[in-house]
Amino acid sequence: MLYSLHHLAAPEGMAFTLEERQQLNIHGLLPPCFLGQDVQVFRVIKNFDRLTSDFDRYLLLMCLQDENEKLFYRVLISDIEKFMPIVYTPTVGLACQQYGLAYRRPRGLFISIHDRGHIATLLKSWPAETVKAVVVTDGERILGLGDLGSYGMGIPVGKLALYTACGGMNPQDCLPVTLDVGTENKELLKDPLYIGLRQKRVRGSDYDDFLDEFMEAVTSRYGMNCLIQFEDFANVNAFRLLEKYRNKYCTFNDDIQGTASVAVAGLLAALRITQKSLSDQTILFQGAGEAALGIANLIVMALEKEGISKEKAIEKIWLVDSKGLIVKRRASLTREKEKFVHEHHEMINLEDIVREIKPTVLIGVAAIGGAFTEQILKDMASFNERPIIFALSNPTSKAECSAEQCYQATEGRGIFASGSPFDPVTLPDGRTLYPGQGNNSYVFPGVALGVVACGLRHIPDKIFLTTAKVIAKEVSDKHLQEGRLYPPLNTIRDVSLKIAVKIVEESYLDKTATVYPEPQDKQAFVSSMVYSTDYDKILPDCYPWSQEAMKIQAINQF
Residues designated as active site: 88, 159
Distance CA 89, CA 328 (A): 37
Distance CA 378, CA 408 (A): 9
Distance CA 319, CA 342 (A): 9
Core vs surface per residue 487-507: b (16+ CB within 10 A) or e: bbbeebbebbbbbbbbbbbbb
Contact 97, 156 (CB under 8 A): no
> Terminus-to-terminus CA distance in the chain, angstroms?
16
Q: Is the bond into 90 cis (omega within 30 degrees of 0)?
A: yes
CA 168, 171, 177, 178 dihedral sign is: positive
Distance CA 515, CA 509 (A): 13
Give the contacts of 321 (CB within 8 A, at least 6 positions apart).
287, 288, 289, 337, 366
Helix 80-87 and helix 69-78, axial crossing angle in degrees, nearest 10: 120
Give me the amino acid identity at 221: R
Angle at 236 between CA 394 and CA 469, to 5 degrees: 50
Q: For the chain, what is the radius of gyration of the CA atoms?
A: 24
